[in-house]
Chains A and B, each alone.
Chain A
């Protein structure tokens, strides 16, 4: 459910968590995004940074510049302003994916687990529009939902130690993309030639919280000749 008023949780003497609900849902996540955009419109002395996630915002502040009580008071003031703030529409990003084979080593396992053909899995995965709920874990990693119920798949029993950059993966009702080579436990079904994280760009990530994503299947050959 979505909370009427944010619930506060204290993280030490320099951070605060604001919870806007107790579930992963587009509705709760939309409220998180609204609050982030509102806080950005109203610069706040002593605010260090905001990290929005599925259903909450982490607010890091400088305790030498603002106290907890004053911070909470200011946030409550902003809450009242939310109604009047125009919230920009999220952008939609199309992500090409080569499914299966060496690029999607878990596609076969997922197919056997659900007793669905590989083609059907590709059709289901690329047939939905996903919402980017948050970026986290590593730079640029998008947590996206909802995966069609028929594809809901447990994580791998043994996480991989090395997953190549660009790997497209699923776990439970979520799908994600590993932007940099890293360890991880999701089921890898394909790979995108796009770069999800580039430390020299501003912003440094292809996707941001709130974006919409669609996947388009491509062939091995297209992937290999993709301009990089």
Chain B
């Protein structure tokens, strides 16, 4: 690790089954990009990767290794040449991989053939920065860190694998997220719900792995209900509206909360949440459970077809 960039952490699919102990899932905020990156280098799709935020990571290969970069376009370079994303490459010993800075999206995923050898804490290698466990010493990566892989040479044959460009979600500055109303949509006025669905919200700079704060039209709650509810469990993608009426999309580092939630982003659109960046515009589209199920089916189908194609080659 020559330079860590703004924020680079080790993340896998996340930590599940520990919510009752107050332990949040952590993990990649864009799980689709993580899974594809792993498949490109012949890893299990839930293996840990580097999640790189916006800019600046620089690493040197200490041995030959297969790598793949997916997710946001942070302008990856291999030595002095731009590196093609969504495909696998082989880094030769001494090669330098760097990221010049964001062109589109927000978080990039770097998979290494053979994964990242780190202890599994509560079923996951994901880093929980605030409670300082998981990943590498429970902290963001720093210059001088060395990451090891399990038998990287067995993954070199993955070189040249490509994920079809047509299956990559487009990352723009304007997003449309599909939501299902609930769990507390009945505690907002009809007008409040219309505001939520009919307005454009801007991603605020106070956005991190715990949540995406949005700024825009105030969402009105029913006059007879208070600002908060009795605390309950939450999942990533659920949209809480605190007293100021400005929505917050909860992400992967939150486990319980006491604010009302007007709607929840569908599972198929969760990967997009990892790519929203301050200043972007978000609109919400209400869908049914059937539509959510269909969208999820389509995403899983892409991954499945990609995997099948790999086993044939």
Point out residues on A near B: beta carbons under 8 Å. Answer: 9-15, 17, 22-24, 36, 48-58, 60, 63-64, 67-68, 134-141, 143, 179-180, 182, 197, 199-200, 203-205, 208-209
Contact = CB atoms under 8 A, between A and B. Distances in A.
Interface of B: 16-24, 121-122, 128, 130-134, 138, 179-180, 182-184, 230-235, 237-238, 255-256, 261, 264-267, 289, 292-293, 296, 300
B235 A15 contact: yes
A14 B267 CA distance: 7
Contacts of B133: 199
B264 A11 contact: yes
Given A11-B182, A204-B23, A204-B122, A56 B16 contact: no
Nearest 6 A/B pairs, CB to CB? A58-B233, A12-B264, A136-B256, A51-B233, A9-B183, A199-B133
B231 A134 contact: yes
A63 B20 contact: no
B130 A182 contact: yes
26 contacts: A9-B182, A11-B183, A11-B238, A12-B265, A12-B267, A13-B292, A13-B293, A13-B296, A15-B235, A48-B16, A49-B17, A49-B19, A60-B19, A60-B235, A63-B292, A135-B22, A136-B255, A136-B256, A137-B231, A138-B22, A140-B21, A143-B231, A200-B121, A204-B21, A205-B21, A208-B21
A205 B22 contact: yes
B131 A138 contact: yes
A149 B21 CA distance: 28
Q: Which of B21, B238, B255 has the most CB of A within 10 A?
A: B21
Contact of A17 (B23, B183, B289, B293): B183
Contact of A12 (B121, B128, B292): B292
Contacts of A63: 267, 292-293, 296
B144 to A, nearest CB: 24
Contacts of A22: 230
A219 B300 CA distance: 59
Given A13-B180, A60-B235, 9 more contacts: A12-B265, A49-B17, A55-B232, A60-B19, A134-B231, A137-B255, A139-B18, A203-B21, A204-B21
A129 to B, nearest CB: 22
B267 A13 contact: yes
Contacts of B180: 10, 12-13
A11 to B, nearest CB: 5
Nearest to A57: B233
A155 to B, nearest CB: 12
Contacts of B289: 10, 13, 68
Contact of A53 (B122, B130, B231, B266): B231
Given A9-B184, A12-B238, A24 B230 contact: yes
B48 to A, nearest CB: 16
A8 to B, nearest CB: 9
A56 B132 contact: no
Contacts of A197: 21-22, 131
Contacts of A56: 230, 232-233
Contact of B256 (A10, A36, A53): A53
Contacts of B300: 64
A135 B21 contact: yes
A50 B20 CA distance: 7
A12 B237 contact: yes
A160 B20 CA distance: 25
Nearest to A58: B233
A198 to B, nearest CB: 9
Contacts of A182: 130
A9 B20 CA distance: 19
A17 B296 CA distance: 21
Nearest to A15: B235
A141 B180 CA distance: 30
Contacts of A36: 20
Nearest to B19: A51
B247 to A, nearest CB: 15
A208 B293 contact: no
A91 to B, nearest CB: 15
Contacts of A48: 16-17
A172 B47 CA distance: 44
A209 B231 contact: no
A135 B21 CA distance: 6
Contacts of B22: 135-141, 179, 197, 205
Contact of A136 (B131, B183, B231): B231
Contacts of A17: 183, 232-233
Nearest to A202: B122
A55 B233 CA distance: 11
A10 B289 CA distance: 10
